[in-house]
Amino acid sequence: MTVTLGLTQSNLLNPQPSLLPNSRLWPVVFSLSVRSRNTIALLIVTAAMTIFSVPISAQLAPPSVSSLNSSSDSNRPLAIEQAFPWFASIMNHTYSITWTPAVGHYLYRHSFAFSLIARSGEDPVPLNFRLPDGIKKTDQFFGDIEAYYEPVQAKLILEGIPDPQASLLIEYQGCADWGFCYPPQKAVHPLTP
């Protein structure tokens, strides 16, 4: 980009009123020494170059390494324990698992599964459970789904009283709104404290 101010060395040293729109300034310009006029001209040219070149050079400059590494914390995956903390509780012989997704994170309704492991080494037995309705949305990974952004509680339906050595296999999956999907999670939790 070229900036033309209409000022040259010859017309700064020997100014002519027709070059500047405001002729009332000419008595001031004529009263200045040649050195002062050159200093003023240099300041005007420097200011014009600075004003017009900084935005252009900023747009043309390649990104620095530090700018590439300083991604927003909102686009960094949280640890699974921070993204989807959960706890198990027992009240009146009802087992519940409660999740509290982090802000900007959600759990998939279709990914919840619970199984009872009666004893170590035995195959898990699927359990029935109840979940509240989630928010219907279109997900970039699974299409139309139900999601939980707020705390959600799964109530497990157990047949009889489980063995004191029994464990619960908990399965779930969730994503962050900005596009990171956590892999399916499995956790084994003892049924008795």
2 falls within a domain:
no
117 falls within a domain:
yes
pLDDT of residue 66: 37
Contact predicate 124/79, CB 8 Å: no
Same structural domain, 54 and 110? no
1 falls within a domain:
no
Across the range 122-140, mean pLDDT stands at 94
Q: How many structural domains comprise the chain? A: 2
pLDDT over threshold 60, residue 11 = no
3-state DSSP assignment of residue 14: coil
- In 10 A of CB 59, how many CB atoms? 7
30 falls within a domain:
yes
How far is 100 from 78, CA to CA, in rounded Å?
14
Identify the weakest region by mean pLDDT among 18-22, 33-37, 127-131, 174-178. Answer: 18-22
Q: Is the pTM of this model over 0.75?
A: no
- Residue 99, CA distances (Å) to 78, 82, 182 in order: 15, 11, 15
How far is 75 from 113, CA to CA, in rounded Å?
28
Q: Residue written as tokens 């492991």?
A: 117
Same structural domain, 55 and 147? no
pLDDT of residue 118: 86
Same structural domain, 137 and 183? yes
State pLDDT tens for residues 79-103: 999 999 999 998 877 899 999 999 9
Domain that holds residue 56: 9-68
Same structural domain, 37 and 94? no
57 falls within a domain:
yes
Q: Which of 24, 46, 68 is the last residue before a domain boundary?
A: 68
